[in-house]
Every structure is written in C-alpha cells, then in structure tokens.
Chains A and B, each alone.
Chain A
Amino acid sequence: MAREDYEVVMGLEVHAELSTKTKIFCSCPTKFGAKPNTQVCPICMAMPGTLPTLNEKVVEYAVKAGLATNCEISRNSKNDRKNYFYPDLPKAYQISQYDKPLCEHGYIEIETSKGKKKIGITRIHIEEDAGKLDHDDLGGGALVDLNRAGVPLIEIVSEPDFRSIEEVDSYLKKLKSILEYIEVSDCKMQEGSYRADVNTSIRPIGSQKLGTRTEMKNMNSFRSITRALEYEIGRQVEVLDNGGTVEQETRKWDEVSGKTFSMRDKENAEDYRYFPEPDLVAIKLSEEYIENIRKTLPEMPESRKQRYLNDYKLSEKDAGIITSSKYLSDLFEKAGEICGNYKAVNNWIISDISRILNETEMDPIEIPFDAKQLAKLVMLIDKGTISSSIGKKVLVELFKNPRDPEEIIKEKGWIQISDEGAIKDVVLKIIEANPQSVADYKGGKERALGFLVGQAMKETKGKANPQMLNKMFVEELKK
C-alpha cells in the first residue's frame, strides 16, 4: 500500500519542569546550570533516613496547568513510588503519581491547515526529575550529578488523538505557550525543561484496531520531532508493506543520520512495582483552594489574539504568531505601549525578529533585549533619525549586544542625514557623476531616478533620508 493508505495515530507524553524556586521534596534550589552536586542535600541525595515533604507550590502549579487545559481536578490525590534502578535515581524509586493523578479528562484546542481540533488530555500528574549522568571521557566512567534530582515535573499525557505531524507540532507549540502564559514552566527546550515522549503507530485507513506503537523518548526540539516522525512513519509503512510487523519498543532518534534505532534493551519488560508512597500523606484539595487558583489564571492566548485583531487590526496570521509565545506577546504589548506604533512593532516581530530566532534556533524567551529597546528602535525610525534599513542593522546589534539603540547608532555613526544642505551636496555630486542616467531620466525613463537615489544611498552608507533624497533629485533634475 502507499503511505496514503495508512492512518497515523500518535499520542504524546510531555514533561515540563515547573519553575518553582525549590525542589519538589526538599528546599534545594532548582536553578539550571550550577556546578555539579552543588544544589543537593541529604534528602535529594537519598541519604538513609531522610524523608520527603511535598512542596505546596508544585501542587498549585500542576492544578493551574490542569485548569488551563480544561481538566477535572482531583479532590483526593496521592503520590506513588515507581521503582527502578539507575544511577541518576538515588532512591531507586521516583516519587510520581499512578492511579490518582491531580488532573484528568482535559483537552486543548489546536489549529492546523485543516482547521480546529480538540486534543484530549488524559491526565496531568506531578513527579520528580532524576539527576544526570555525565560521561567522563577521560576515565571512561560516568559521573552522577544530582542537581536536577528532585526538580518538579508535570507529565501531561494526551489521548492518541493525533492523525498528522502537523497536529503534533501544533499541539506541542500550543501546550508550551499555555504553560508559559500561566507561568508554571519556562519551557526552555534546550535545557530540557520541556520535552516529549512520542508514541506512534499506523493502521490501514478504515481500521478500528490500533496498530502496534513505538515510543521515542525525551525529544526536545520541534524540528527533531517533525523529522523523527517523518522517518518513523515511513519506516513503519515500509515494515508493514514488506509483510513485517511493527515491534512494540522504544526507539532512539539520531539527529545526525536522520534515522530512528531500536533501543533493544527490552525496557518494555520493566515492572515498576508502583505502590502508594508511605512517606507522604494524601493530597486533599478543597473547592475553595481550586477556585482560588482558578481566579489567578491569566488571559490566555485566544483571548489575547482576539484583542489584537480588534484593537490593533493585526492580521489573523500575525496575531497567531505573536500570541503563540507569551514572551513575544508581552514584548509586543509592552513595546507597542511605549512607542504607540503597534503596527510597526508587529512588523518587526513577524519579519526580522522571527527570522533571527529561526536562524539561531533561539526560543523567544531567550531574546536578549527588552521591550523598551525595541520601542526605541521603532521610535528612531518614526522620527526619521534612522532609516528602516539602518533599523535592521540596529536589530542585529540588539541581538548581539543589547543596549539603548540611540547609543548604538551614535557609536556606529548611523544617524540619518536629514540636513537639506548635506543632502543637496550628495545629490549634485551624483548627478554630476552619472550623466547617462540623468539623460535617461530626462528622456522619460522614470526608472533612472531609482538608480540615482540608490547611488546616493551608497555614497552615504544608507544614512541619507530616502524621502528627502527623492524629493531633492526630482527638484534638481527638473532644472
């Protein structure tokens, strides 16, 4: 059969690190990037005799995430132990949630080229992250860093509702933006604080029975997920077409070869021996507690988008791009408010800023400059202090070394020449140097004017005010 004869069925388990100040079961800080084993204590190092105490903020953040994804919140929940051996798991069990997760039965609405669709959320539960193994190239061994052990996570499990890679991509971006909006996770994918396990299976179109699924774990870039799914779906089609069967297994995506490989460690046979965590009491939430959290939910992306369409007359597409990230959206609103020119801020974000983010694979939250600096850039152009082509250079400079754009243009000598005398000198110089073009223009070839203006811009290294140049050329050539 051809690929079109199969239906793809996918489900996602997303792990997001919560941005609480302290770990889930002790008071160690959660900051990323500290020296190995400097953010640890007897509890997160699993010293004998230590006991966990549940960080209430973790429950609050998870409930917030549940409410923002239309989940039911359990009034009665508990923690469970998931037992397995690995050196990055010092207790030899992970405290997670098994049969009574905090949130259940929610959904997220996504938008693709085929329109809107609801993706079901099976559950959201809280758990602790494991530490990290640093493979020591010199000694050939591995070193354990427990800074991340006990960093709080929520696991968001979707229904197997995805039928295309586009839906997966859209869901992951939407979910990320929701978590950013409600400020429970910073979702820094490069730091691994937003990562997904992807389950994939295929079945002949029309079949009701699900095919055997494979799982790819800990994917932390949208691009890799799309590429990995392209490959994996193709692989499964090929297996079935050749009369084979897809094996239920964990497969690893290899970025370099662009292929997935079987892990072949029979992880599936692992029995985690879940049982209720006896060191922690049950989590009981009152109606009042849940309602109070509901009240703190901020304006969500849809509502912001609607506002942008109405108030700032942005296009549907632009408003969608900007509200897809809370950071971009905040940047838009703040910069717009300062400079008053929302349209221009929109254009900068949609075109140049988005392009640079794409090229450098940077997350919006990592944009180094602030709204004030972007607003200043817009204002300098609006005032005619610089041209928009100089503006683009200033933006690149803002990404490299963010500072006041006014300082940048002074330092670089990029201030626009708007002095009439100076402009006239340049115009006369260019006219004198290009008699042919002057003759062409006078002979009726309008296009020759463009060439002359271009030459003048070149002469001034782009600093001449283009409107004034144009006007001056026309005047001088009439003479």
Chain B
Amino acid sequence: MDITELTVHELQGKLKNKELTITQINEAYVNRIKEKEPEVQAFITELTDQGMKQAKQIQNKIDNGEKVGDLAGIPIGIKDIICTKGVKTTCASKMLENFIAPYDATVMEKINAEEMIDLGKLNMDEFAMGGSTEYSYFKKTRNPWDLSRVPGGSSGGSAAAVSANMVPWALGTDTGGSIRQPAALCGVVGLKPTYGLVSRYGLVAFASSLDQVGVFTKDVQDCAILLNVIAGHDEKDTTSVDVGSKDYTKSLQKDIKGLRIGVPKEFYGEGINPEVKSCLETAIAKYKEMGAEVEEFSLDIAKYALATYYIIACAEASSNLGRYDGIRYTYRSPEAKTLKEIYKKSRSEAFGAEVKRRIILGTYVLSSGYYDAYYKKAQQVRTLVMNEFNKAFEKYDVIITPTSPTTAFKLGSKSNNPMEMYLADICTVSVNIAGLPGISVPCGVDSEGMPIGMQIIGNKFCEETIIKTAYAYEQETKFREKYKPTFKK
C-alpha cells in the first residue's frame, strides 16, 4: 500500500482501524516530497522537519489515550499567499522574499485548531497573477502528468503537490480561476467557494472583490471535508457572510435524478480545444444517462467577462499592491537614496513583469478621465453578468462548462504572450465576476494523456448542489482508478 495514494477519508479509516499511525502517514509524505520535489518544484518553503515533530507529538497524544480531532495529524500544503505566523509568506515575489507574517490567516487558525500539519508553503504565480505558475520569482513548477508542461496557475504549486501525492490536499486561492484551472490541468478536484463563504483575513490581497480561498483534493469527498473546516463567517472580514454552519459531507449523494443542468453554448465554441469539447460532451451525456435534465442555453454576456475581469482585478491590484513600497517589510533597493528612489527602485527591482503590467493597467483604468470609461463601465457589466447568472439559476441547478479551454501547455509557450495567457481564464473568470461557487473535477484525458477538467457552477452559497453533482459523476466514472500522473519528462 502506498500511503500517499490514499485520500484523506481513506486515511481516516485506516487511522481508526489502527492500520496506520500519524507518524507513518507523515513519514510517507515527507519521503514522497524528498523523492518528487526535485522534479515537480512545488514548494517555496518546506516544513517537513517541523511537520514530523508535530506528527510525533500528536501520535504521542493518541498513544496516551488523549482525544484528538478527526483531522489531527493529517498533512496539508498551503499556497504561499496565505499568512502563516512565524513562517515566510512570500507570494512568490522577490518583494516579500523575507516576509514573515506576525499572525495567522483565519483559515490557518481553523487548520491549526484541527491540529492538521502544514508540510509547506506552495509555489504560485507572483501575487497570484498568472495562469501557469511560471511567473513565480523562485521556481517554475512542473505538471506531474508531463514535466515539460505547466501545472496551470496561479495555484500551480498546490495543484501539482496534490497531483504528485506530496500532500493529500492543499489550500489555494482563486481570483479568476486560480484553483479550478490548475486543478483541471493537474487532474485533481478544485473548489472555489462562493465569494464570502470563506474568510479572506490573512489572504494577501490581489483583487479584493474577487479573491476567495478554496481547496485542492484528490476526490470530492475530501473536498467536502476540507470545506467544512475552512467555511464560515469571520468578524475580521466584513465581506464574509454568515450562512450558518453546514455539513457539506451530507451532499455526498449519488442520486441526481431530475437535476437541471444548463449548458451555455458560448463555452463550447471558438477557442475551446476540440478534444476538451468532446470530453465535456461525453460527460454531459453521462449526466443524462444518470437522470439529469440537460438543456443548452445562451450566456451571451460571458463574452464580456474577461475584459471586465481584467479591468476590475487590475484596478484593485494596483491599489492593493501599493503597500509594497520599500518602507517596512518589503524588499528595499540598496541603491535607493531618496524617498522617490526607494519607491521607484524597490518596486522596479522586486516586482516581476506580469505584476508590473497589471499595476500599470489598473492605475490607468482608475485614473481621472478614464475611470468612467473603464472601471465604472466594468462594474456595470459586472452587474449584468450577475443578472444573467441569476436568470440562468431560475432554470437550472448547475451550469456545466469546460474548466480550461485547453489541457496543460508546454512551459514557455505562453509566458511571453500575455494575451494568450489571459485567454486561459476565459471559462473561469465569469464565476468570480458573479461571486459564484465553482468546482473542477477531472473528466477524462486528451490524446496525449493530459487531464481535462469539468467546471460545475452553482448559485450563490449552493456549494451543496455542486458537490453533489461532482460526487455523483466521480462515483460513476472513477477517474482516479483509470488515470495517474506519469512524471513523463
């Protein structure tokens, strides 16, 4: 038995039967990291030593008959944009290369309260800006299914680490698709919750009105378990919503008879790879077979979502990233002599090209004389996008689209063409614009063996519905039993 192949709920079963110990589990993962990290490059900061210590402490507790929680001692990986007290949080930027947060993000407090073990901080595109994890200052993460390809992004480290079995699950963040797209490209499950379901306190802001913390897991059941841990209202985040406490594992049901599925034709047209399209069509046929009612419809407004997204996200980013000014916890250019030089040189030297591009774009759309034409208009379109989705959800329980227009692409193939890279978000951004929950589940592979993801979108705070829809499909198709990453070079 390879421990690292198991899902968390499987590990829990084996812990209960005393087939496994916490120490064994963590040892297995630490060894797996040692073995695979040189190839995959998913970690910015490894916490394996400290993780093993914690594992032994928890094992001791168990051996002494102390009661511990269901998730105590289960390892996890954390995207390096979520603040962890006493451990570096770099956002994959030279700017925050040495930043150690003096506090824990609310989601980390929840993870720690469960006594889960953080095995490391995971790689990403700098400040979560990108779709391939190539824009990390530190390293380029590889796709475990083919090491010459990208894992997607921005949470590429999280997706690759779960896919390569270096952690059983991980936290990521999603502003325009940064969980769902890499989950699709790496053949794992990725959930972006409704805006407001999970606290953003301690998530380093990229675009405040779009950012959400979410999960990467091996299967849908684990996804429900981890969502139970991180969801919930937080007084420290006034945009978080109190929807009462829910148990998402109750949604793990196979019966989807009568489920109304909407299929927006705009997501199956131009720009979508034919193999991806046909894979999705097969999946939708499967749903029909299982008793769902499927209907094609038009979500015409979606074509404006990408432009809207880049205006709003960049505008907010240009303001959010102002605090990295070379004055306090950031990089400061050793050359700088005057205040202006501290700003100019520090920011010029420590931000990567993509981050600068977005700051400049965002500054432009907010500047006087352009605000009405860009930012204000984008907010108006945003309202229209929300309205269109609201209308759709009067008719459908879920909307199904591809997660990404293509499967994982080769490293370097898009990193010098920002526009092409932005198009990688075309299927996911409208979900953030409308603040909806979305899950990506693997639904097949292309002719080169690269995984394809299916995106299931739900109405606000209807995570139960998309979890149920994803679970039923997963149980029926058993992707994990058929396909595995090959670490092909």
Which residues from chain A sit less than 8 Å from chain B, CB to CB? Answer: 42, 45-54, 81, 83, 85, 87, 90-93, 144, 271, 273-275, 278-281
Q: How far is the CA of A42 from the CA of B209 in the complex (A)?
A: 21
B315 contacts A275, C-beta separation under 8 Å:
yes
Instruction: Please tell me if the beta carbons of A49 and B323 are within 8 angstroms of each other in the complex.
Output: no
* Residue with the highest number of chain A CB atoms closer than 10 Å, among B205, B316, B323: B323
A275 touches B366 (CB 8 A): yes
Q: Are A49 and B101 in contact (CB under 8 A)?
A: yes
Instruction: Report Cα–Cα, A49/B99, bound state, in Å.
Output: 12
A12 to B227, CA, bound (A): 53
**CB<8 Å pairs between A and B, sample of 14:** A48-B323, A49-B202, A85-B322, A87-B325, A90-B328, A92-B319, A92-B325, A144-B328, A271-B367, A273-B318, A273-B371, A274-B366, A275-B366, A279-B239
A48, A51, A85, A90: residue with the most chain B Cβ atoms closer than 10 Å: A48
The one of B91, B235, B329, B367 in contact with A53, judged by C-beta atoms closer than 8 angstroms, is B235
Interface residues on chain B, size class: 35 or more
Cα distance A87–B330 when bound, in Å? 13
- Residues of B131-165 at the interface with A, using a CB-CB cut-off of 8 Å, are none
Find out whether the CB atom of B83 lies under 8 angstroms from the CB atom of A273: no
Lowest 6 A-B CB distances belong to which pairs?
A92-B322, A273-B366, A278-B208, A278-B209, A48-B204, A49-B202
Q: B157 CB to closest chain A CB, in angstroms?
A: 18
Contacts of B89 in A (CB 8 A): 48-49
What are the residues of chain B within 8 A of A85 when measuring CB–CB? 322, 325, 343
Which of A45, A46, A279 is packed against the most chain B CB atoms within 10 Å? A279
Q: Encode contact with A along B190-208: 1 for CB under 8 Å, 0 otherwise.
A: 0000000000111111011
Please state if B203 and A49 are interface contacts (CB–CB under 8 Å): yes
Asked if B363 and A87 make an inter-chain contact with CB atoms under 8 angstroms apart, the answer reads no
User: Which residues of chain B from 323 to 369 have a CB within 8 Å of any chain A CB?
Assistant: 323, 325, 327-329, 339, 343, 363, 366-368
The A-B contact count (CB < 8 A) is 99
* B363–A273 CB distance below 8 A: yes
A281 in contact with B201 (CB, 8 Å): no
Query: With A53-B235, A144-B327, A273-B366 given, is the CB distance from A93 to B101 under 8 Å?
Result: no
Contacts A47-B103, A271-B367, A275-B371: A90 and B319 contacting too (C-beta < 8 A)?
Answer: no
Interface presence of B236 (CB below 8 A): yes
Contact B83 A92 (CB under 8 A): no
Q: A47-B103, A91-B323 given as contacts; is B375 within 8 A of A275 (CB)?
A: yes
Cβ–Cβ < 8 Å partners of A54 in chain B: 238
B102 interface contact, C-beta 8 A:
yes
Least CB distance from A47 to B in Å reads 7
* A281-B238 in contact (CB<8A): yes
Interchain CA distance A346-B236 in the complex, whole Å = 51
Interface flags for B294-320 (1: CB within 8 Å of A; 0: not) read 000000000000000000000110110
Say yes or no: A280 contacts B238, CB within 8 Å.
yes
Taken residue by residue from 89 to 131, chain B's Cβ proximity to chain A (1 for < 8 Å, 0 otherwise) reads as 1010000100101110100000000000000000000000000
Residues in B whose Cβ lies below 8 Å from that of A50: 103, 201-202
Find B83's partner among A48, A271, A281 (CB 8 Å cutoff): A48
With the chains together, A271 CA to B316 CA distance in Å? 16
Nearest CB in chain A: distance from B328 CB, A? 7
A271 to B368, Cβ gap below 8 A? yes
Q: Which residues of A contact B327 (CB under 8 A)?
A: 87, 90, 144
Q: How far is the CB of A228 from chain B (nearest CB, A)?
A: 27
Please give, as numbers and ranges, the residues of chain B lying within 8 Å of A275 by CB-CB distance.
Answer: 315-316, 319, 366, 371, 375
Does B35 count as interface, using CB distance less than 8 angstroms? no
B237 at the interface (CB under 8 A from A): yes
Find chain A residues with CB under 8 A from B371 CB: 273-275
Complex: A412 Cα to B208 Cα, angstroms: 68
| Per-position 1/0 for B226-250, Cβ under 8 A of A | 0000000001111100000000000
Cross-chain contact A83 with B319 (CB below 8 angstroms)? yes
Write the nearest CB–CB distance from B297 to chain A, whole angstroms: 30
Q: Which residues of A contact B237 (CB under 8 A)?
A: 51
The docked-state distance in angstroms from the alpha carbon of A232 to that of B236 is 47
Q: B322 — which chain A residues lie within 8 A by C-beta? A: 83, 85, 91-93
CA distance A83 to B315 in the complex (A): 11
Contacts of B201 in A (CB 8 A): 49-51
Q: Which residues of B contact A144 (CB under 8 A)?
A: 327-328
Q: Cβ of B103 and Cβ of A278 under 8 Å apart?
A: no
Considering the chains assembled together, what is the distance between the CA atoms of A54 and B363 in angstroms? 26
Q: In the assembly, what is the distance between CA of A447 and CA of B316, in Å?
A: 86
- Give every chain A residue within 8 A of B325 (Cβ-Cβ): 85, 87, 92
Chain B residue nearest to A93 (CB atoms) is: B319
What residue of chain A has the Cβ atom nearest to residue B369's Cβ? A271
Q: A48-B91, A49-B203 are in contact. Are A278 and B316 (CB under 8 A)?
A: yes
Min C-beta distance of A62 to chain B, whole Å:
18
A278 partner residues in chain B, CB cutoff 8 A = 207-209, 239, 316
A49 contacts B343, C-beta separation under 8 Å: no
- C-alpha spacing A45/B343, complex, angstroms: 18
Complex CA–CA separation, A233 to B371 (angstroms): 37
What's the minimum C-beta distance from B197 to chain A, rounded to whole angstroms?
Answer: 15
User: Which residue of chain A is the closest to B367 with respect to CB atoms?
Assistant: A271
B435 to chain A, nearest CB (A): 12
Determine the residue in chain B with the shortest Cβ distance to A276. Answer: B379
Q: Nearest chain B CB to A99's CB is how many angstroms away?
A: 11
A53 engages B238 (CB within 8 Å): yes
| CB proximity of B345 to chain A, nearest CB, Å | 13
CA A90 – CA B327 in complex, angstroms? 8
Residues of chain A within 8 A (CB-CB) of B103 are: 42, 47, 50
With a cutoff of 8 Å between Cβ atoms, the chain A residues found around residue B82 in the complex are 49
Give the distance in Å from the alpha carbon of A92 to the alpha carbon of B325 in the complex.
8
Given A81-B319, A273-B363, A279-B238, A51–B200 Cβ distance below 8 Å? yes
Given A275-B315, A279-B208, A51:B323 Cβ within 8 A: no
Report the Cα distance A45→B327, complex, angstroms.
11
Contacts of B105 in A (CB 8 A): 49
Most buried by B among A85, A91, A93: A85
Residue numbers in A under 8 Å from B319 (CB-CB): 81, 83, 92-93, 273, 275
CA distance A90 to B325 in the complex (A): 9
CB distance from A304 to the nearest CB of B (A): 40
Most A Cβ at <10 Å: residue of B96, B102, B319:
B319
Q: How far is the CB of A410 from chain B (nearest CB, A)?
A: 57
A90-B323 Cα distance, complex, nearest whole Å: 6
Residue contact B329 to A47, C-beta cutoff 8 Å:
yes
* Assembly CA distance A50 to B366 (angstroms): 23
Distance of A90 Cα from B326 Cα, bound (Å): 11
Chain B residues whose CB sits within 8 angstroms of the CB of A274 once the complex forms: 366, 371
Residues of B within 8 A of A93 (CB): 319, 322
B408: shortest Cβ distance to chain A, in Å? 30
Residues of B within 8 A of A46 (CB): 323, 328
Q: Is the CB of A92 within 8 A of B102?
A: no
**Closest CB in chain B relative to A56 CB, distance in Å:** 11
Residue of A nearest to B312 (CB): A278
CB nearest neighbor in B for A43: B236
CB-nearest residue of chain B relative to A92? B322
Residues of A within 8 A of B236 (CB): 51, 53
Distance in Å: Cβ of A133 to nearest Cβ of chain B: 10
Q: Are B239 and A87 in contact (CB under 8 A)?
A: no
Q: Given the complex of chains A and B, what is the CA–CA distance between A47 and B105 in angstroms?
A: 11
Which chain A positions have C-beta within 8 A of B343?
85
Instruction: Provide the residues of chain B in CB contact with A53, threshold 8 Å.
Output: 235-236, 238
A471–B201 Cα gap in the complex (Å)? 83
CB distance from A265 to the nearest CB of B (A): 11
CB-defined interface of B51-81 with A at 8 Å, one 1/0 digit per residue?
A: 0000000000000000000000000000000
What residue of chain A has the Cβ atom nearest to residue B211's Cβ?
A278
Shortest CB distance B158–A (Å): 17
Beyond the given A48-B96, A51-B201, please list 7 additional residue pairs across the A-B interface where CB-CB is below 8 A. Answer: A47-B101, A85-B343, A90-B323, A91-B322, A144-B327, A275-B319, A278-B316
How many Å from the CB of B175 to the closest CB on chain A? 12
> B83: nearest residue on chain A (CB-CB)?
A49
- With A273-B366, A275-B315, A279-B238 as given contacts, are A48 and B101 in contact (CB-CB < 8 Å)? yes
